Every structure is written in structure tokens, then in C-alpha cells.
A and B are shown apart, each in its own frame.
Chain A
Amino acid sequence: AQTVTQSQPEMSVQEAETVTLSCTYDTSESDYYLFWYKQPPSRQMILVIRQEAYKQQNATENRFSVNFQKAAKSFSLKISDSQLGDAAMYFCAYRSADAGNMLTFGGGTRLMVKP
């Protein structure tokens, strides 16, 4: 079974600064997808970014980018120019390419943004 670990329960960042959230996962599969979801106080889970394991290029979405290290099974999220609206719980998630569309979530990292 796959496991996803987020080792930082809480992080804080100054507005306009850069922060990196860590995620590691354990799998024996070679084909899979990785996601970062954001859950603000409104509680809706919002997709931030997605990475296909077969792609070597790191995904980027505006201020959000990932550092995907397949051999190390690491998938960190970098948020540049942090904004107050970035404050939220961030969940890293894994999905196998074969075993249906089931997400395995990490425990989450609460990000606080200081003005």
C-alpha cells in the first residue's frame, strides 16, 4: 500500500516571501500521479498543482511549483511571493495510474502567512 508523509504539521511565511512544503511518499509502482490540494478555512479542497510521474519536467502553476524527485520519492511544493490568501491546509496526495481513481493523502501542513 502507498503512504504519503508530510513531515511539517505547520509552517509560517512572511508575506511576499517564498516557502517550501515537503512531501514524501512510498510506492513500488512506476506510474502514478501526485497532487497538491489546498484547503482554506472555507473547507473546499482546491487543486493547486498536478505532476505525472512519467514527466521529468517539474509542474508549474503561476506562483506554485513543485520539485519532483522520483528516485527519492519526494514531491515538495514551492510557493513564491506568498500572499495572505495562501494561508490554508495543504495536502499532498498520491494516485496510482492503475488502481482506480483513489487518492492517498498525507496528513497535511498548515501554512500561516504573516503580513
Chain B
Amino acid sequence: DTEVTQTPKHLVMGMTNKKSLKCEQHMGHRAMYWYKQKAKKPPELMFVYSYEKLSINESVPSRFSPECPNSSLLNLHLHALQPEDSALYLCASSRGSQGPGNTIYFGEGSWLTVV
């Protein structure tokens, strides 16, 4: 059973819609991540939050806006997306963002389809 919970599991949105993906973990982890995964490809890092502060933004377009309200929650706000943004969005967490033992654990993902 995953300890990183993502909602919704599936989301279909139009290009003018505003929606959000949500992620929650209760493992006491202080680092949280968003990854994007296209079909038959490995995950690509989008954002890293460490102690609720954005520490890494991998040149992601501004139509993706992350938010970390507290150490357990991570949101990804979506606005004016394009069909090519359709993908699996994976949330992950780890105890910290550096040092040994900081294995990254993934949620089940949110399937996003932009129409």
C-alpha cells in the first residue's frame, strides 16, 4: 500500500480549465516532488520542495504552478494546459533532500488528459 496518496486518479480537462492535482503523505517526510511521465518513458522531474520551500524547478512552464501548504501536502495547479501536457503525474516524497537514506517513495500517480 502506498503511503503517498494522490488525487484525483484520473482528470480530463479542457485547455481553458483550471484544475489541481493533490498529493499527501504522512510519513513525516520533508521533501516532496512532482514528476511527469509520458507513455513508455521514465519519469521526468518537475519540482522539488524541501522543508516546504521550492528548491528545484526544472524549467517547467508557468502553466504548472506547484504549492506546498505544509509538510504533508503538495499541490500542482494547472491552467491553460496543452494537449501535449497529457501524461501521468507522479508525486513522491523522501525523508530529506540530501544525504544517505533519503529514498524516494512514489504515489500511484494522476492520469491527466488535456482535450
Q: How many residues of B contact A (CB 8 A)?
A: 29
Least CB distance from A10 to B in Å reads 11
The reply to whether B42 and A43 form a contact with Cβ atoms under 8 Å apart is no
Q: CB-CB < 8 A to B111: which residues of A?
A: 43
- The answer for the CA separation of A95 and B92 in the assembled complex, in Å, is 15
Q: How far is the CB of B60 from chain A (nearest CB, A)?
A: 14
The segment from A11-19, A22-30, A70-78, A103-111 found at the interface with B is A103-111
| Least CB distance, A32 to chain B, in whole angstroms | 10
- Interface of B (DSSP majority class): loop
Per-position binary interface string of chain B over residues 26-63, scored 1 when its CB falls under 8 Å from any chain A CB and 0 otherwise: 00000101000000111101001000000110000000
Name B's A-contacting residues (CB within 8 A): 2, 31, 33, 40-43, 45, 48, 55-56, 88, 90, 92, 94, 96-100, 102-109, 111
